[in-house]
Amino acid sequence: GREEEGTFWAEDAAEKDRNGMRELMQWMDEARAIVAYDTERVQAGLNAAYGTDAARREAHRRKMVDVGEHVAANVGRRLRLSTLLRANGQARNAGAGCDTDTMWERGRADAVRDACMRDVRALAEVAHRGHVRWFYWVCLPQSELQKDCPP
């Protein structure tokens, strides 16, 4: 399938040359699937954009493939995204989410965007692989992310 990526900013951070929440909602409307990590937090962050449109929120939720939920269900606890990425060979792309807060406070919006895009690309790479590994000995298949791990 065709993959797309984009950067969307909260309305108070959006400028005339940046996509905002309205564009994100349209983009998600058209998506066949939305790969996410921590759907609850993603959805909570979009509360203002959804407003009272519960049908739209539910339509987006049905399209979400949450790698973090699959990991938590199979490992028994939630993991930090950076931990999951490192365990799946994406160490060079695994940042620390707390870094982006400092970058944002210092007015480095482009650095925030770049850090987030590295995480998104790395997560997509892991999700498209067909299985997710945790500490190299626990393997989570794709269609619970297939039922059996590859040999």
Q: Tens-of-pLDDT digits for all 151 residues of the chain? A: 566 777 787 766 656 556 788 888 998 999 888 888 887 877 788 888 888 999 999 999 898 888 888 888 888 888 888 888 888 888 765 555 567 778 888 988 888 888 888 888 888 888 877 666 555 444 444 444 443 334 3
Of 55, 60, 64, the C-alpha closest to 24 is 60
The encoded tokens of residue 134 equal 């945790």
- Pairwise CA distance, residues 44 & 59, whole Å: 15
pLDDT of residue 58: 94
What global pTM score does this model have? 0.70
- Pairwise CA distance, residues 111 & 103, whole Å: 7
The encoded tokens of residue 71 equal 């990991």
- Pairwise CA distance, residues 66 & 60, whole Å: 12
